Amino acid sequence: MFDRILIANRGEIACRVARTARRMGIHTIAVYSDVDAGALHVGACDEAHRLGPAAPRESYLRGDRIIEIAVASGAQAIHPGYGFLSENEAFAAAAAEAGLVFVGPPPAAIRAMGSKSESKDIMFKAGVRLVPGYHGVDQNDALLAREADGIGYPVLIKASAGGGGKGMRIVERGVDFAAALASARRGAKAGFGDDKMLLEKYLDEPRHIEMQVFADTHGHCVHLFERDCSVQRRHQKVLEEAPAPGMTRERRNEMGSAAVAAARAIGYVGAGTVEFIVDKTGLFHFMEMNTRLQVEHPVTEMIPGLALVEWQMRVAAGEPLPLLQEALDFYGHAIEARIYAEDPERGFLPSIGRIAYLAVPPVSEFVRIDTGVRAGDEISQFYDPMIAKLVAWGEDRASALRRLRSSLASYQVAGVTTNISFLQRVVAHPAFANARLDTGLIARHQTELLAPPAAPSPQILAVTAIGEFLRLVEEAQQQAQASEDRFSPWHDLDPWWLNSASHAISLTYLALGLTHEVRLRTNGGDILVSIAGAAGAAEVDLTATASRRAKGMAITLDGVQLSATVVPLGDQRYVFVDGQLQKFSLVDPLAHASVDEHRGGHLTAPMSGTIVAVLVKAGDAVAKGAPLIILEAMKMEHTIAAPAGGTVSAVHYRQGDQVSEGVDLIDVDATDVGASGAAASAA
Ligand code: ADP
């Protein structure tokens, strides 16, 4: 076994690898970019070396630097994690040349599976069933169009070099094929530097089921059961679980054997995943093989109770697999939810910023959190905005689900927007609860899953205002402690304040475009709360008592006891009550910035990126919803569409321009009423 290992990654996976390595007594070496100098993964390792500036190509993708550091620091092996260099054949080869062990498959196996097209050839020869389609070398547009007609619509166009659910276009009708192909090629060129495309029959409501495989250098190859990753949003995994609901022993054996055959066909070594797409009849087809540790490997680890990273190290060090197929079994059920800094209401755009507040549910033998960030850390535009993977285990699916639900309810993040409420709705949805899984689940139920947040209840408003009140009291007490004057009334503010019948404060909050007035009055130990009825509703009066707790506060509202946390960030208030988050802005009556100043027809960049296409010019008449500009950011294209019909009055940027978040891109003089803001959608 190695004594020293370099971890060529960041975030949760670098932390996760470091944890296992340290447990095994292996000295761990981190690498970091400038923005990650104080990151969690750096502290998780025994030593750390700077790579360069934040941009991955100047840091985590600098294979040459990483190998140099590994050699200089005496590492014997490099663990690449996932993403970055993990599936980079040249890097794996260069590491070997420098005398380092690459913890992953041989370079030839990476190459064989690196292209979706070539891997299909290999699998076809190995007798593994493929989705009907075209994956030939000839990339002539007209030929592809003919092939698409032959396959029959709907057809899926995939970038051969694609990954992470990116670079795919569904085409419903032949007339749309040419435009979709052009857009797909553009995206693939920008995202993967390769515009080779393949076509597949687009299967209706399939399931994504993948098999974890493991091979050693002694000729053994096993599968570690399946993961069901059907719950996806735009072809990206949202929830993963093991085992797959409804999987029979026979089907598992069949899929496992196919996966092992796939791994053997390319001389695989180490941890890999063979992804299958399963049609409604239960027939499974090879989709691709990922030659690395998957993001969602914890669900596999939790059911047989194995450490895949430890297996990886053992295999890389030349040891045989710790267990062979007959000795492998699993127990219970595990479900993983991916917690992201992203905004479901804005097309799931990454939410860049500082995690100002973070409270996580308790971890135990049943609940696992793999994370790479802590409170105070920045979610930057440079890397994947994942905050954590939350994994729950139970004796059966229902108990795993219960634990996942309650853990999600106590996962609190403020400062960046997250998908936690969205995940809560998905796991609570009857389709998910009853395991009616397929890749269309989220899209089919999106009106419920993405329903706009409900108007705040009087209880939440009361909690928010009480939070404000307690904070004011606390600040006053601190002021008193700092005060020189020992006769200052601030010294015994608490009883004085609470007993002063005359004391009252009035606060105005803004949520979802509506203002809410809350008045608080103290009366003995009670707080009397009146909430002015918004939009014609009657005034609501509540009687409360409240006290600070180590975490948040305890409140009794008309006899109902709650625990709540109110996090103030500037004028923003993040209010966590009863497993739900509600956001408000505190309206400061003294500030002159008016809240309903509206931006007219100025369409702004929803995030920093590059303009890839300008589809209109000044003077053009546009219909509501017409695409105006395509912005590429975080490897995704975002279409800026007209919020209302009108005339384009100005276009501020050209194709190829870099823009930063919030700048005016284009102005539209609306002829329809009600125009405001940019409508952004991830394409
Ligand atoms: P990536 O490498 O980008 O993750 P995959 O080829 O693994 O791409 O596909 C990702 C997801 O796209 C699948 O899990 C599935 O939901 C969907 N998908 C892929 N191929 C098909 C297909 N032929 N028909 C229907 N859905 C598909």
- Of ligand 1's listed atoms, the one at least distance from the Cα of 159 is 3
Residue 105's CB is within 10 A of a number of other CB atoms, namely 27
Separation between Cα atoms, residue 657 and residue 192, nearest integer Å:
20
Distance 235 CA to ligand 1 centre (A): 6
- Of ligand 1's listed atoms, the one at least distance from the Cα of 208 is 14
Unique residue bearing structure tokens 């004796």:
395
Q: Is 80 exposed, middle or buried (0-12, 13-18, 19+ CB in 10 A)?
A: buried
Report the residue among 115, 135, 199, 208 best suited for mutation to probe ligand 1: largest number of ligand atoms under 8 A from its CB.
208
* β partners of residue 563: 554
Distance 94 CA to ligand 1 centre (A): 31
Confidence check: pLDDT of 114 > 90: no
Q: Minimum mean pLDDT among 1-10, 290-299, 498-507: which range?
A: 498-507
Confidence check: pLDDT of 672 > 80: no
Distance 113 CA to ligand 1 centre (A): 15
Q: What predicted TM-score, i.e. pTM, was given to this entire model?
A: 0.84
Report the residue among 277, 278, 281, 292 best suited for mutation to probe ligand 1: largest number of ligand atoms under 8 A from its CB.
277
Task: Give per-residue pLDDT as tens, 309-365.
Answer: 999 999 999 999 999 999 999 999 999 999 999 999 889 999 999 999 999 999 999
Task: Give per-residue pLDDT as tens, 116-125.
Answer: 888 999 999 9
499, 509 Cβ separation under 8 angstroms: no
Residue 667's CB is within 10 A of a number of other CB atoms, namely 18
Please spell the DSSP secondary structure of 307-362, one letter per residue: -HHHHHHHHHTTPPPSS-GGG----SEEEEEEEESEEGGGTTEE--EE--EEE-PP
Separation between Cα atoms, residue 643 and residue 66, nearest integer Å:
47
Q: What is the mean pLDDT of residues 594-608?
A: 57
* Residues near ligand 1 (Cβ within 6 A): 131, 156, 158, 162-166, 200-203, 206, 208, 232, 235, 275, 277, 287-288, 439
Q: Report the nearest-CA residue for atom 6 of ligand 1.
A: 287
Q: Which of 207, 292, 346, 405 is catalytic?
A: 292
Q: What is the mean pLDDT of residues 610-627?
A: 85
- Of ligand 1's listed atoms, the one at least distance from the Cα of 201 is 23
**Annotation says 397 is catalytic:** no
Please give the pLDDT value at position 489: 52
Write the CB contacts of 88 (distance below 8 Å, at least 6 apart in sequence).
63, 80, 110
Unique residue bearing structure tokens 């939810």:
337
**Percent of the chain scored above 70 by pLDDT?**
92
Q: Report the nearest-CA residue for atom 11 of ligand 1.
A: 235
Distance 204 CA to ligand 1 centre (A): 12
Please spell the DSSP secondary structure of 255-304, one letter per residue: HHHHHHHHHHHTT--EEEEEEEEE-TTS-EEEEEEE-S--TTHHHHHHTT
- Of ligand 1's listed atoms, the one at least distance from the Cα of 237 is 14
Distance 437 CA to ligand 1 centre (A): 15
